Structure 1
Amino acid sequence: MSFSFFVLTAAPPVIGVLLGYLCGGRLSGFRTVRIRALWLVWLAAAVQFTQYFAPGVRHFVEDTAGIPMLAPVFAIVFVWLGVNLWHWPTAIRLAGVAIVLGAAMNALVIGLNGRMPYDPATSVAVGNAPDREGPKNAPADSGTRLAALGDVIPVPVVRKVASPGDVLISGGIIALVVLVMRRGRPAEEQPDEKPLTRGGAQ
């Protein structure tokens, strides 16, 4: 499992839940925001899972359609966000826009290069080989397009390299979870007594 898969699926929601509780939020906040077409999220996760654990399917799709396997994942996520975005409160909508922008940045650089390019020097800085290739990644070179949108941000803790799009996606997911959880905060207690009027209690 790659760092990108971990970032997009596991860490941000968990961090968001922890921060949501620290901010006084509750998971019940998710009941206040209608989430449409949730099956699209599961479909995107299934396609992503297939990319990693069913290489035969991945090669068939990429060879037949001529597009990276990540393309349908991003397309499904875009559709799901498009269905939901305009029905959410403004703050939550902005978090969704950050996710869309990050995914679009990743999709653009992958679409232009076939795979996500990574900076060899940054890869060496976190303890990895400068020329390792995989189904999703390849080292950037002079022919790489929009290399700055590739994996150029070192993450030494896990010895991986992330892209600016990954950062936006992760930050957007964390913000979205926190904002939704805060909508589940208990209502503040109202004082039982009415304030006195200028002429005294009535």
Structure 2
Amino acid sequence: MPGFLVLAGVPVVAGVVAGFWRGGSLDGIAGGFRGLWLLWLAVGTQVAHAYLGGGAAFLALTFLIVLGWVAVNLAGFSPGMRGGAGLVLGGAVMNGVAIAVNGAMPYSAWAAEVIGLPAGSATAKNEPETAGTRLMFLADVIPVPGLQKIVSLGDVAISVGSALLIAAAMRRHPRKEGEPS
């Protein structure tokens, strides 16, 4: 679970740092989004999935919740925010396709070896690649050794998109002269 929290938290922190660096303020986040409870619900759904299993149903529910949040907010998004949201949704689609064609998110045996995951281990969210695995390039193929995690291109797109979305949202309310960072 700590690895999940780090992977979920780094894009948020990176987005806030980039937002401040570009002259933005947290007011753009605090007052700029509707339905933030939907994002908390999506996080809760992911945590439940990690602990309870549930296969593709929990992941599909998470994707639908995030899609609903984007739909509620899209009209108020700046072009930069729309770009970030597009990356998040694109990453979700990449992950969803990999899961849909394989029944679960496969992971690379090589990446598992890099992080020290025992061969053939299955989790609530992942299964090892097999000869029948399809679209392996969309699967979890990028090892993150310090966190003992494997991520996908979709995960990277979601993380980068989240950071861009936050940074762009912060620009909606620039810092005033003399305001602390």
- Which of 46, 49, 52 does residue 51 from structure 1 map onto? 49
Contact 2:78–2:168, Cα closer than 8 Å, also in 1: no
Distance in 2 of aligned mates of 1:47 and 1:103:
15
Distance in 2 of aligned mates of 1:179 and 1:132:
39
Given residue 23 of structure 1, which amino acid in structure 2 is its aligned partner? R
Matched residue, 1:40: 38
Q: Matched residue of 2:143: which SS?
A: strand
Contact 2:91–2:156, Cα closer than 8 Å, also in 1: yes
Contact 2:113–2:119, Cα closer than 8 Å, also in 1: yes
Which structure: larger Rg? 1
Cα deviation 1:10-54 (Å, max 9, x = unaligned): 221122112322333221222563x2222222222222222233x
Higher helix share: 2
Distance in 2 of aligned mates of 1:12 and 1:128:
25
Matched residue, 1:154: 143
Q: Matched residue of 2:120: which SS?
A: coil
Note if 1:175 corresponds to 2:173.
no
Given residue 72 of structure 2, which amino acid in structure 1 is its aligned partner? V
TM-score scaled to structure 2, two decimals? 0.86
1:14-33 equivalences under 5 Å are: 14-30=13-29, 33=32
* % identity of equivalent residues: 37
Cα 1:98–1:149 change in 2 (3 A) is same
Count of residues in correspondence between the two structures: 178
Note if 1:112 corresponds to 2:101.
yes
Matched residue, 2:60: 71
Distance in 1 of aligned mates of 2:125 and 2:109:
15
Distance in 2 of aligned mates of 1:113 and 1:4:
22
Cα 1:46–1:76 change in 2 (3 A) is same
CA-based RMSD of the aligned residues comes to: 2.3
Matched residue, 2:134: 145
Point out which structure has higher relative CO (alpha carbons under 8 A, 6+ apart). 2
Given residue 160 of structure 1, which amino acid in structure 2 is its aligned partner? K
Matched residue, 1:193: none
Cα 1:98–1:45 change in 2 (3 A) is same
Cα deviation 1:64-102 (Å, max 9, x = unaligned): xxx432111111111211222233111111111100000
Distance in 1 of aligned mates of 2:2 and 2:138:
18
- Which of 88, 91, 95 does residue 99 from structure 1 map onto? 88
